[in-house]
């Protein structure tokens, strides 16, 4: 078994597969990667000559990657992470993308001297349009943070926070956020259908409008509020809709309550 790959990916399902796809499309050399995953690359559809190990027991004892990324389900971590404790001698940084698993829980499994980065990505990472937010413990070096930044830049934007408690609102805004946007598409589609549009047309109008508006908001320097005001003529159709959406029980209050609920849930689930 070859053992010199600097980047080890443990778990290659939906999110691990998205990361791997991003790394391969963004110039990371196949020979720099090793995947540890019981199903191989079968779940991902990725065709590659990367070394894949189905059982971590097959890794050499002197295996010493620079970075070990855990992309397994949170409930699998307690049994999976300790298997990689012995590879600490090479000074790897351990990165976890598991929702709700704190840095302290990894320190318990790997030792207080381990360099740990907790990252919250989101599902648009699968098309290279995600956003990943990282938070590290004090053992992580600037070079290791830079390496982590490079890895997650391959699947979208990145940001860092210093205070781990902020991972709960981050999870509530960007981790769970894609679901809110999909719901917006669904609701806009249904409203269009109720107003007389054929379903396929309504869905296409909703999807393209959400995608195009998001892209516009990212591309221009104006704030989202300015962009909204620019398309709202007094007494016009947009103003009529916004009177409803921005009313007493409108979207701002609703979104506030939704993010509060998700943040509270994330705090309860964290361990």
Using CA atoms, how far apart are residues 243 and 162, in angstroms rounded to an integer? 39
Within 4-33, which residues bind ligand NAP (CB under 6 A)?
Answer: 10-11, 13-16
Q: Which span (37-45, 61-69, 185-193, 223-231) binds ligand NAP, by CB under 6 A?
A: 37-45
Tokens of 51: 């070394």
Position 175 contacts ligand NAP (CB under 6 A):
yes
| Closer CB to ligand NAP, 37 or 203, in the complex | 37
Q: Which span (23-31, 116-124, 211-219, 249-257) binds ligand NAP, by CB under 6 A?
A: 116-124
| Closer CB to ligand NAP, 175 or 192, in the complex | 175
| Closer CB to ligand NAP, 169 or 227, in the complex | 169
Size of the site for ligand NAP (CB under 6 A): 24
**Residues engaged in binding ligand NAP (CB under 6 A):** 10-11, 13-16, 36-39, 43, 71-74, 76, 80, 97-99, 121-123, 175
């Amino acid at each position: 078994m070859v053992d010199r790959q600097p980047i080890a990916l443990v778990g290659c399902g939906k999110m691990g597969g998205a990361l791997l796809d991003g790394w391969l499309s963004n110039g990371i050399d196949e020979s720099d990667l090793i995947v540890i995953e019981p199903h191989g690359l079968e779940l991902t559809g990725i065709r590659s000559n990367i070394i894949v190990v189905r059982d971590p027991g097959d890794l050499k004892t002197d295996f010493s990657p620079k970075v070990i990324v855990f992309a397994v389900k949170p409930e699998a971590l307690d049994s999976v992470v300790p298997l990689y404790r012995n590879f600490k001698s090479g000074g790897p940084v351990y990165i976890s993308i598991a929702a709700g698993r704190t840095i302290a829980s990894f320190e318990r499994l790997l030792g207080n001297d381990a360099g740990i980065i907790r990252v919250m990505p989101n599902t648009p990472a699968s098309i290279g349009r995600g956003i990943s937010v990282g938070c590290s413990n004090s053992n992580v070096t600037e070079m290791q943070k830079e390496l982590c930044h490079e890895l997650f830049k391959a699947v979208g934007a990145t940001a860092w926070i210093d205070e781990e408690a902020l991972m709960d609102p981050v999870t509530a805004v960007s981790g769970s956020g894609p679901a809110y946007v999909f719901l917006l598409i669904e609701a806009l589609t249904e409203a269009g259908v109720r107003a007389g549009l054929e379903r396929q047309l309504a869905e296409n109008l909703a999807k393209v409008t959400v995608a195009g508006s998001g892209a516009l908001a990212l591309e221009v320097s104006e704030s989202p509020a300015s962009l909204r005001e620019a398309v709202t003529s007094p007494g016009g159709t947009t103003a009529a809709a916004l009177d409803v959406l921005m009313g007493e029980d409108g979207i701002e209050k609703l979104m506030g309550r939704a993010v509060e609920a998700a943040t509270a849930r994330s705090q309860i689930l964290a361990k």
